[in-house]
Homo-oligomer: A and B are copies of this chain.
Amino acid sequence: MDAHEKGFFTEENSVEVVTGRNKNAKDERLKLVMEVVTRKLHEAVKEIEPTQDEWMQAILFLTRTGQMCNEWRQEFILLSDVLGVSMLVDAINNRKPSGASESTVLGPFHVEGAPELEMGANICLDARGEDMVIGGRILDTAGQPIKDAVIDVWQANDEGFYDVQQQGIQPDFNLRGVFRTGPDGHYWFRAVKPKYYPIPDDGPVGQMLDRLGRHPNRPAHLHYIIKAAGFETLITHIFDPNDPYINSDAVFGVKESLLAEFTRTHDPDRAKAYDFEGDFWEVEHDFVLARVGERRV
């Protein structure tokens, strides 16, 4: 027997030797996943040719990333986010039929149990920020309105913080609400103009971004989860196209179709009707849901 027949590891046969050990795997999917992971990992190592010191730096980076995680902080999700992996997994799992609204990442700030509100309610509970009114329709891909669609919306305030990041400063469930459409599929609510904000950057992922010359900011956006019976749930954002970070979202969440128009409106009568103090922002954005089983592009 030569070394290869005995299965001894060499630079040349490294992938085959390692993945060959999995022939009795108890989990066929894991076996396939580890075949790909091992092959790509070895390809990366062979291309990079790390020194022993660089290898140790990588080990310690991964260790610090794991040890940064706690009940409130998931540094490996941040790492996945800033490397575009989260958006890639999102894209792969949410290929949509033509005309359906696109998805983007859920993010870490969704909270279950936000209050269901009357259409038109103001989700801003502390009267801080620039007034905004948002509306549109929930449609199917044929353009017909969807009744009883449930819209779960949440956003950061005008300083870039979610309520859960400022407990005791913002009221509970500030800038969160759940709305249900009527037969016309229309929704609307009042809020404040959101602001860009940094992802948590005081850990190993923030240090990596800094060394890569990248900023940690996400452009201003509102989050939506839209559910309706018979349709695929849509998890998405809408973005302010005039945000300074619109072309460089730290987590790559922006898509062309998710750019909304934020219009500055001077209309004292409407402002009064909305209970706003003066000029306000206006956003009109429709969402198109794909039916369950509808053909994907």
Q: When the two chains form the complex, which single residue of B54, B214, B256 contacts A8, counting CB atoms closer than 8 Å? A: B256
Q: Which of A170-178, A186-194, A246-254, A280-288 participates in binding chain B?
A: A246-254
A212, B76: Cβ atoms closer than 8 Å: no
A228 interfacial by beta-carbon distance below 8 Å:
no
- For A85, the chain B residues whose CB sits under 8 A away are 41-42, 45, 55
Q: When the two chains form the complex, which single residue of B3, B17, B45, B255 contacts A9, counting CB atoms closer than 8 Å? A: B255
A84, B27: Cβ atoms closer than 8 Å: no
A23, B55: Cβ atoms closer than 8 Å: no
- For A252, the chain B residues whose CB sits under 8 A away are 9, 14, 17-18
Jot down 21 A-B pairs with beta carbons below 8 A, ordered by A: A7-B248, A9-B84, A9-B87, A10-B91, A11-B88, A14-B84, A14-B87, A14-B88, A18-B252, A24-B213, A25-B211, A32-B48, A33-B50, A40-B41, A40-B47, A42-B88, A45-B88, A46-B92, A49-B92, A52-B90, A66-B69
- For A6, the chain B residues whose CB sits under 8 A away are 247, 256
A65 interfacial by beta-carbon distance below 8 Å:
yes
A47, B41: Cβ atoms closer than 8 Å: no
Q: When the two chains form the complex, which single residue of B8, B30, B214, B248 contacts A212, counting CB atoms closer than 8 Å? A: B30
A141 interfacial by beta-carbon distance below 8 Å:
no
B25, A84: Cβ atoms closer than 8 Å: no
B45, A212: Cβ atoms closer than 8 Å: no
Q: When the two chains form the complex, which single residue of B17, B59, B92 contacts A77, counting CB atoms closer than 8 Å? A: B59
In the complex with contacts A21-B248, A22-B214, A38-B83, A63-B74 CB distance below 8 A: yes
Q: List A97-149 residues whose CB lies under 8 Å from chain B.
A: none
A34 interfacial by beta-carbon distance below 8 Å:
yes
A83, B18: Cβ atoms closer than 8 Å: yes
Complex Cα spacing A15 to B253, Å: 14
Complex Cα spacing A21 to B87, Å: 15
Q: When the two chains form the complex, which single residue of B44, B54, B213 contacts A23, counting CB atoms closer than 8 Å? A: B213
Complex Cα spacing A2 to B247, Å: 12
- For A208, the chain B residues whose CB sits under 8 A away are 30
A47, B42: Cβ atoms closer than 8 Å: no
B36, A48: Cβ atoms closer than 8 Å: yes
In the complex with contacts A9-B87, A252-B17, A255-B8, A47-B52 CB distance below 8 A: no
A212, B69: Cβ atoms closer than 8 Å: no
Give 10 nearest A-B pairs by CB, closest first: A66-B66, A24-B213, A9-B252, A18-B84, A40-B44, A40-B40, A3-B256, A55-B89, A11-B91, A22-B212
- For A45, the chain B residues whose CB sits under 8 A away are 85, 88-89, 92
In the complex with contacts A6-B247, A14-B87, A256-B8, A80-B93 CB distance below 8 A: no
User: In the complex, given contacts A40-B41, A59-B74, what are 18 additional A-B residue pairs having Cβ atoms less than 8 angstroms apart?
Assistant: A7-B247, A9-B84, A10-B91, A11-B92, A14-B87, A14-B91, A14-B252, A15-B84, A21-B212, A22-B213, A25-B211, A40-B47, A42-B85, A49-B92, A52-B90, A59-B80, A62-B62, A67-B69
